[in-house]
């Protein structure tokens, strides 16, 4: 089942016997979660916005104070910010497309492959359950290092030559994109396997009778039917890509230079390395705004297409 | 004939992908049994004399990660327990109750779940410094709740929606109260879902790193942060580092493999229904 109806329409028909009113019951169930989320998430976000309107640097306390929107004005003419924004765009778009295409391709490929598909499904879990920081360290140390990394060795064996994968700006960006894709494509794969498994058979049988070829069957039957799964994968993976931090932190720390410094890392480096916390907060606010707007647009898209 | 070669292609690709997904992990395990000179051998060796020295270094001595394992266990367990207590009732209300503002609350949970962690760590860093909570258990647990609760609610909603409505109706007809119905009739139905959610929350708390280094770090040092025990400016101790990584990953991998079926269903269910941000 891919498309499910929204929650069944309540239980208003059957009145429970207890005196406790429905409104109170719902309030009791919901209030702890809502209160905790408000106190632990919403309030800090408000405080973040407040901080972004200040100069706040523990190393230079004499300059601290309310500065209005000047952090944001400074951002607009900060080349490192625009670079980070551009990298965030490249990173997000490329990882999402790669996960989508590879995940769907792979899921199509292994349908009806029996046991092999089962083995692959189990293996798919492995990259996902590992700590991103550990994944970053593994990739950095064992796979990408020139002279003894395995990827370098394979590249050399294939005649591609030895490369300083994390030292060259372009290759470093390619490496972190490849890493993210490696870790999270399994997610898209598993979702698409589930989606394909739930497809009805009749339209395909009808299509075979109508002599539709494989591509036509995919394009006009499979694709429209799994559209909800595609949309949801795009939404979730976009959001996660926008949150990415730990693996890049472990593998390049944003470097070389600022070659892999996406907005998350820029905000982190500004706030906790250079201690310009107010300025770092303004970067985080921009990222937050982008994430929320994008998420709302994507979700609108989802409900519209249903 | 064509279909047969196609099958061969499919199997080849499947095997290749299997290798790509598992190799980094296998290689880490292999490296954790290598001597320092073996680690740097080029071309890399697949066969060598294994040593347990790296594990000894990771577990015993001044850079031992055993205390960190304990700290991570305490934090991840507390986060999980609190999250489940708070999220299960909320998820039930959102999945099964009809009330004004349901859509708004759902949207609120969803947007809360999407916030990039960097947006939270900056205010938390300032607040905890001010109230003297930095480097404490409660600080890390509090900040872990920010991602665990919305995630758990969203995942649990899909499990509650799978319980047939008739069960609740029957319970009410038998004059069973709302709380008793939830406790005795509904919760047993979603036991599997609770297990999956519990696992996901535990794993994401166990694996968390950004909050752990900014809020914790010196006193309360989780095991992911402790990976950096073996990395210094001068050198990186690859052997003990990979050994520590293996030890850290072991519980997650074991649990993940044991609950493999549930995880797959949880992921696809959560994803298909619109929830579920795994990190």
Assess whether pLDDT exceeds 60 at residue A154.
Answer: yes
Q: Structure tokens of A115?
A: 């046991």
Which pLDDT band holds residue B274 (cuts at 50, 70, 90)? very low
Residue A266, in any domain of the structure:
yes
Q: What is the mean pLDDT of chain B?
A: 85
Instruction: Give residue A151's Cα distance to chain centre.
Output: 25
Residue A116, in any domain of the structure:
yes
**In sequence order, which residues have a C-beta less than 8 Å from that of residue B171 and are 6 or more positions away?**
B180, B181, B184, B185
Radius of gyration of the CA atoms of chain A, in A: 24
Inspect the interface and report whether the beta carbons of A182 and B28 lie closer than 8 Å.
Answer: no
Task: Assess B72–A contact: CB distance below 8 Å, yes or no.
Answer: no
Q: What is the DSSP string of B101-152?
A: THHHHHHHHHHHHH--HHHHHHHHHHHHHHHT-TTSHHHHHHHHHHHHHHHH
Which pLDDT band holds residue B134 (cuts at 50, 70, 90)? confident
CB A53 within 8 A of CB A68: yes
- Poorest-pLDDT segment among A252-266, B97-111, B260-274: B260-274
Assess whether pLDDT exceeds 90 at residue B122.
Answer: yes
Q: For residue B274, list chain A residues with Cβ-Cβ distance below 8 A.
A: 232, 235, 299, 302
Percent helix, percent strand, percent coil in chain B, to nearest 5: 75, 0, 25
Residue A62, in any domain of the structure:
no
Which pLDDT band holds residue B148 (cuts at 50, 70, 90)? very high
Q: What is the mean pLDDT of residues A137-154?
A: 76
Which pLDDT band holds residue A9 (cuts at 50, 70, 90)? very low
Percent of chain A surpassing pLDDT 70: 91
Task: Assess B81–A contact: CB distance below 8 Å, yes or no.
Answer: no
Question: For the domain that residue A90 is a member of, what is the CATH number?
Answer: 1.10.3720.10
pTM value is: 0.88
What is the pLDDT at residue B267? 66
Q: Structure tokens of B41?
A: 């051998």
What is the pLDDT at residue B152? 93
- Poorest-pLDDT segment among A130-134, B182-186, B247-251: B182-186
Interatomic CA distance for residues B37 and B34, integer angstroms? 8
Assess whether pLDDT exceeds 60 at residue A26.
Answer: yes
**In sequence order, which residues have a C-beta less than 8 Å from that of residue A201 and are 6 or more positions away?**
none
Residue in B44, B118, B164 to test binding to A, most A beta-carbons within 10 Å: B118
Assess whether pLDDT exceeds 70 at residue B196.
Answer: yes
Q: For residue A98, list chain B residues with Cβ-Cβ distance below 8 A.
A: none
What is the pLDDT at residue B2? 60
Task: Assess A243–B contact: CB distance below 8 Å, yes or no.
Answer: yes
Assess whether pLDDT exceeds 60 at residue A10.
Answer: no
Inspect the interface and report whether the beta carbons of A34 and B238 lie closer than 8 Å.
Answer: no
**In sequence order, which residues have a C-beta less than 8 Å from that of residue A98 and are 6 or more positions away?**
A177, A181, A185
Q: Tell which wins on pLDDT, A306 or B208.
A: B208
Residue A72, in any domain of the structure:
no
Which pLDDT band holds residue B72 (cuts at 50, 70, 90)? very high
Domain B68-273 belongs in CATH node 3.40.50.970:
no
Task: Assess A278–B contact: CB distance below 8 Å, yes or no.
Answer: no
Angstrom CA distances, A15 to A12, B176, B178, B245, stand at 7, 10, 10, 55
Q: What is the mean pLDDT of residues A155-183?
A: 86
Which pLDDT band holds residue B273 (cuts at 50, 70, 90)? low
Assess whether pLDDT exceeds 90 at residue B77.
Answer: yes
Indicate the domain borders of chain B.
68-273
Give the residue from chain B lying closest to A228, CA to CA. B272
Assess whether pLDDT exceeds 60 at residue B278.
Answer: no
Percent of chain B surpassing pLDDT 70: 93
Can you give the residue range of the structural domain that contains A172?
A: 78-305
Residue A283, in any domain of the structure:
yes
Angstrom CA distances, A291 to A89, A231, A281, B100, B118, stand at 12, 16, 15, 27, 12
CB A302 within 8 A of CB A231: yes
Residue A51, in any domain of the structure:
no
Q: Tell which wins on pLDDT, A140 or A306.
A: A140
Q: What is the mean pLDDT of residues A194-205?
A: 84
Q: What is the mean pLDDT of residues A55-71?
A: 86
Inspect the interface and report whether the beta carbons of A141 and B238 lie closer than 8 Å.
Answer: yes
CB A136 within 8 A of CB A179: yes
User: Looking at the DSSP assignment, which residues form a beta bridge with residue A55?
Assistant: A65
Task: Assess A191–B contact: CB distance below 8 Å, yes or no.
Answer: yes
Q: Please tell me which of the candidates A11, A135, A141 has its beta carbon nearest to residue B236.
A: A141
Q: What is the DSSP string of chain A?
A: --S-PSSP--STTSPPSSSS-HHHHHHHHHHHHHHHHIIIIIHHHHHHHHHHTEE--TT-GGG-EE-TTHHHHHHHT-HHHHHHHHHHHHHHHHHHHHHHHHHHHHHHHHTT-THHHHHHHHHHHHHHHS-HHHHHHHIIIIII-TTT-HHHHHHHHTTS----TTTSHHHHHHHHHHHHHHHHHHHHHHHHHHHHHT--SHHHHHHHHTT--HHHHIIIIIHHHTHHHHHHHHHHHHHHHHH--HHHHHHTTT-STTTT--HHHHHHIIIIIS--HHHHHHHHHHHHHHHHHHHHHHHHHHHHH-
What is the pLDDT at residue A303? 66
What is the pLDDT at residue B236? 79
ipTM of the complex: 0.86
What is the pLDDT at residue A158? 80
Q: Tell which wins on pLDDT, A19 or A132.
A: A132
| Domain count within chain A | 1
Interatomic CA distance for residues B99 and A28, integer angstroms? 13
Residue A176, in any domain of the structure:
yes
Interatomic CA distance for residues A295 and A238, integer angstroms? 8
Inspect the interface and report whether the beta carbons of B11 and A129 lie closer than 8 Å.
Answer: no
Q: For residue A228, list chain B residues with Cβ-Cβ distance below 8 A.
A: 272
Residue A271, in any domain of the structure:
yes
What is the pLDDT at residue A5? 42
Interatomic CA distance for residues B51 and B239, integer angstroms? 10
What is the pLDDT at residue A84? 95
Q: Return the ∠ at Cα A161 (arms to B9 and A103), rounded to 5°.
A: 35
């Amino acid at each position: 089942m891919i498309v499910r109806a929204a929650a069944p329409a309540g239980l208003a028909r059957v009145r429970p016997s207890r005196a406790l009113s429905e409104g109170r019951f719902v309030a009791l169930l919901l209030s702890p979660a809502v209160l905790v989320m408000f106190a632990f998430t919403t309030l800090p976000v408000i405080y973040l916005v407040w901080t972004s309107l200040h100069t706040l640097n523990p190393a230079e306390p004499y300059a601290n104070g309310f500065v209005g929107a000047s952090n944001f004005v400074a951002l607009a003419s900060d080349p490192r910010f625009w670079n980070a924004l551009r990298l965030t765009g490249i990173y997000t778009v490329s990882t999402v497309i790669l996960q989508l295409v590879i995940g769907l391709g792979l899921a199509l490929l292994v349908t009806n492959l029996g046991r092999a598909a089962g083995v692959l499904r189990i293996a798919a879990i492995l990259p996902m359950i590992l700590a991103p920081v550990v994944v970053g360290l593994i990739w950095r140390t064992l796979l990408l290092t020139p002279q003894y990394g395995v990827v370098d060795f394979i590249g050399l064996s294939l005649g591609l030559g030895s490369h300083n994968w994390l030292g060259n700006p372009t290759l470093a960006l390619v490496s972190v994109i490849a890493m993210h894709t490696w870790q999270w494509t399994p997610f898209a794969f598993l979702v698409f396997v589930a989606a394909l498994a739930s497809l009805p058979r009749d339209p395909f049988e009808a299509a075979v009778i109508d002599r539709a070829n494989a591509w036509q069957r995919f394009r006009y039957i499979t694709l429209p039917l799994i559209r909800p799964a595609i949309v949801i994968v795009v939404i979730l993976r976009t959001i996660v890509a926008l949150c990415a931090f730990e693996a890049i932190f472990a593998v390049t720390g944003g470097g070389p230079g600022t070659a892999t410094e996406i907005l998350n890392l820029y905000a982190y480096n500004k706030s906790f390395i250079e201690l310009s916390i107010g300025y770092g907060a303004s970067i985080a606010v921009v990222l937050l705004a982008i994430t929320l707007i994008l998420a709302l647009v994507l979700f609108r898209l989802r409900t519209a297409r249903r | 004939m064509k279909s047969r070669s196609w099958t061969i292609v499919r199997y080849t690709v499947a095997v290749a992908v299997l290798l790509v997904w598992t190799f980094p992990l296998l290689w880490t395990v292999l490296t954790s049994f290598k001597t320092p000179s073996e680690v740097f051998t080029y071309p890399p060796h697949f066969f060598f004399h294994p040593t347990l020295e790296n594990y000894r270094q990771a577990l015993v001595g001044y850079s031992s990660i055993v205390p960190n394992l304990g700290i991570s266990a305490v934090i991840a367990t507390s986060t999980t327990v609190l999250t489940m207590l708070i999220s299960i009732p909320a998820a039930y209300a959102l999945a099964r109750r009809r009330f004004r503002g349901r859509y708004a609350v759902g949207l609120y949970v969803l947007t809360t779940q999407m916030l990039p962690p960097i947006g939270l760590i900056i205010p938390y860093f300032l607040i905890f410094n001010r109230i003297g909570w930095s480097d404490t258990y409660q600080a890390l647990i509090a900040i872990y709740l920010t991602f665990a609760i919305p995630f758990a609610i969203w995942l649990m909603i899909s499990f509650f929606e799978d319980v047939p409505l008739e069960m609740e109706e029957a319970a009410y007809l038998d004059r069973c109260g709302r709380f008793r119905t939830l406790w005795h009739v509904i919760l047993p139905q979603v036991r599997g879902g609770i297990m999956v959610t519990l696992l996901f929350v535990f794993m994401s708390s166990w694996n968390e790193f950004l909050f752990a280094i900014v809020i914790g770090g010196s006193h309360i040092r989780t095991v992911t942060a402790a990976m950096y025990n073996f990395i210094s400016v001068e050198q990186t101790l690859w052997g003990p580092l990979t050994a520590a990584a293996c030890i850290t990953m072991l519980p997650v991998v074991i649990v993940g493999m044991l609950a493999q079926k549930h995880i797959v269903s949880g992921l696809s269910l959560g994803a298909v229904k619109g929830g579920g941000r795994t990190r």
